[in-house]
Structure 1
């Protein structure tokens, strides 16, 4: 699976890359939200996006909303990652921007499978929604 990591902390990004590539995923990385959007606009087609909520140029919620409006990523699950769980959005419409929430330090043994499960749930939800809309 192709995964885009949006993480400005070098050590965290290296750990994420190590864990995900070790599970067979292809990983790209952006340091900032605007870089992630440029990569996607330039043709990068991730199947999942893992973003820190605390980025230097925009918060992860803003990025997730942009991704949800972009035709290339509207269907892509976005996983929020933060060292500050109090930064998780409280409003349900904001929480809905994310397929999952993960607190740092994350469990390196289960993180890759969490991504896989989030993608599968997103796919099933999209199929269910399409069936409901076509009925």
Structure 2
């Protein structure tokens, strides 16, 4: 619970127990959440390319599943607005079902023809996009 709160609670931005936890940034250009370090350093590769939407459907899945487990163990966490807002935002970033959401695209990386999400985000790759880990993707879904 403490580790998860390091990512969404602004009061813990400099907390020693949070170490290098990355606070998120809303990117108005692409309509999504990304790690702030990449924006601070203007480096798309920081935090495994999170700033350029690389593998969001994998990485954010760990947060969503952890939050689900935490909610089962301690249901009171669902009454904490920062917690629920953060987790719902990660879901909207990766698997948003709404075409009417003005802040996040619908199914950002999911390809309905191939029935999986593509990796590498918005960064160009000379070999094109790929699918690296179906098990991590299913973890989110």
Task: Name the TM tier (shorter chain).
Answer: under 0.3
* Structure holding more strand per residue: 1
Which is greater in Rg?
A: 2
